Structure 1
Amino acid sequence: MTSARDERFYAWENRVVAPLDRSVVAFERMQAIVDHVWTAEGLRWPPRVRPRKATRATLATGSRLAIEAPDSLPSWILLHEVAHAMTSTAEGDGAAHGPDFVGVYVGLLVRHCRLDPEMLAASLAADGIRWNPQARPWCLDPG
């Protein structure tokens, strides 16, 4: 079941993020990108990328241990799933699409898709989407 918060967030993504990043990643390249992003964010032990059949409701999924994706995926959706992996536990508990998830995701979009942070912040505010600009991955390795 999708919440009103999720619907608002998905609408923001489709209106703001999708038009700015039209790149598509083939499944064969996804693990390398996940590994690169994970390392660039100061983390170890990235989730494994596994095949998944896309459905009408869900294109891909991400958790601390695995990202499941179809044969190809827009890069911003891959980063969305990486953000889920960074804000969830091995048991699947996580930030869903709350302020910490959105904060981590926006950071990934800025650093890895080179999107404008001020524009993202303004568009989130305009859409009434709460986010934590100071959010960090829950799985950040100490030291």
Structure 2
Amino acid sequence: MMRRPADRQRARVYAWEDAEVAPRGGGTQPFGRAQPMVDAIWRDLGLRHPPAVEPLPRQSRRLQADANRLRLRLPPEWPDWLLLHELAHALSSTAEGHSDGHGPRFMGLYLQLLERYMRLPAAALAPSLRAAGIAWDPAARPLFLEPGRGD
């Protein structure tokens, strides 16, 4: 069994997100809007083969949502910023399950999405990221676009 490295930034990212991103969100969206939004954002980023949107299992108590390269699971209603968070997971993972969790690649991609689709400038968010001790890669690219990995 392959062990994943510890997701050292996870708790800090969630706390930062609650303080800095969630208050700037635009409200909740119904599940039915998710796949068209994922498809549009994926296309806008110049990518093919977006992840499939699926309902989050009803018995899921601890997860708000989850995602990997192939699928994104959401509850019946979700805050708009949550879709961008999960898309950053899809962009920072592969079909084989490789991911940096909430690491620098994920955060770099998440900041790019926040800036592009919620108009939250990365430069304005940077001080709060530094204060929270969160590392990010401003030049992050989707993991599956690395040489030798397909889209």
TM-score, normalized by the shorter chain, greater than 0.5: yes
Q: Is 1:139 equivalent to 2:144 in the alignment? A: yes
Q: Which residue of 2 aligns with 1:114?
A: 119
Instruction: For residue 65 of structure 1, report the CA deviation from its aligned partner.
Output: 0.3
Is the deviation greater in 48-57 or in 127-136? 48-57
Q: Is 1:33 equivalent to 2:30 in the alignment? A: no
Residue identity opposite 1:89 in structure 2: T
Instruction: For residue 72 of structure 1, report the CA deviation from its aligned partner.
Output: 1.1
Unaligned 5+ residue runs, structure 1?
none
Q: How many residues align?
A: 141
Q: Determine helix, strand or coil for the equivalent of 1:77.
A: helix
Q: Is 1:70 equivalent to 2:75 in the alignment? A: yes
Taking structure 2 as the reference length, the TM-score comes to 0.87
Structure with larger Rg: 2
Q: Which residue of 2 aligns with 1:49?
A: 53
Structure 2 CA distance for partners of 1:101 and 1:40, relative to 1, 3 Å: same
Instruction: For residue 22 of structure 1, report the CA deviation from its aligned partner.
Output: 3.1
Once residues 36 and 122 of structure 1 are traced to their aligned partners in structure 2, the CA distance between those partners, rounded to angstroms, is 30
Q: Determine helix, strand or coil for the equivalent of 1:50.
A: strand
Once residues 120 and 130 of structure 1 are traced to their aligned partners in structure 2, the CA distance between those partners, rounded to angstroms, is 12
Instruction: For residue 120 of structure 1, report the CA deviation from its aligned partner.
Output: 1.1
Instruction: For residue 3 of structure 1, report the CA deviation from its aligned partner.
Output: 5.0
Q: Deviations over 1:49-89 (max 9, x none)?
A: 00113633111100000001110111111111111001101
Q: Which residue of 1 aligns with 2:18?
A: 14
Residue identity opposite 2:117 in structure 1: H
Is the deviation greater in 52-61 or in 103-112? 52-61
Q: What root-mean-square deviation, in Å, do the aligned CA atoms of Structure 1 and Structure 2 show? A: 1.8
Taking structure 1 as the reference length, the TM-score comes to 0.91
Unaligned 5+ residue runs, structure 2?
1-5
Between the two proteins, what is the percent identity of the paired residues?
45
